[in-house]
């Protein structure tokens, strides 16, 4: 059975990268929450 996580760096950057996060409203909300929590890494 094929697993759900098939890593690809290009797809990772495009979907959960910092630029894609900061483009959408909900993505900016994610960044805001991660900043508030004090995460070392905000996005992939």
Instruction: Look at residue 24 and tell me if it is in a domain.
Output: yes
Give the model's pLDDT for residue 44: 86
Instruction: Look at residue 7 and tell me if it is in a domain.
Output: no
How many domains does one find in the chain? 1
Ranges under pLDDT 50 in the chain: none
Give me the domain span that covers residue 31: 12-36
Q: What are the C-alpha distances in Å from 2 to residues 5, 6, 18, 30?
A: 9, 9, 28, 29
pLDDT in tens, 28-39: 999 999 999 999
Instruction: Look at residue 32 and tell me if it is in a domain.
Output: yes
The per-residue pLDDT of the chain, averaged, comes to 95
Instruction: Look at residue 16 and tell me if it is in a domain.
Output: yes
Q: What is the pTM of this model?
A: 0.78
> Other C-beta atoms within 10 Å of 42: how many?
15
Instruction: Look at residue 28 and tell me if it is in a domain.
Output: yes
Instruction: Look at residue 18 and tell me if it is in a domain.
Output: yes
Instruction: Look at residue 23 and tell me if it is in a domain.
Output: yes
């Amino acid at each position: 059975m094929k697993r759900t996580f098939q890593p690809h760096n290009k797809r990772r950057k495009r979907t959960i990268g910092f630029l894609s996060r900061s483009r959408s409203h909900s993505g900016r909300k994610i960044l805001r929450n991660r900043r508030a929590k004090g995460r070392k890494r905000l996005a992939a």
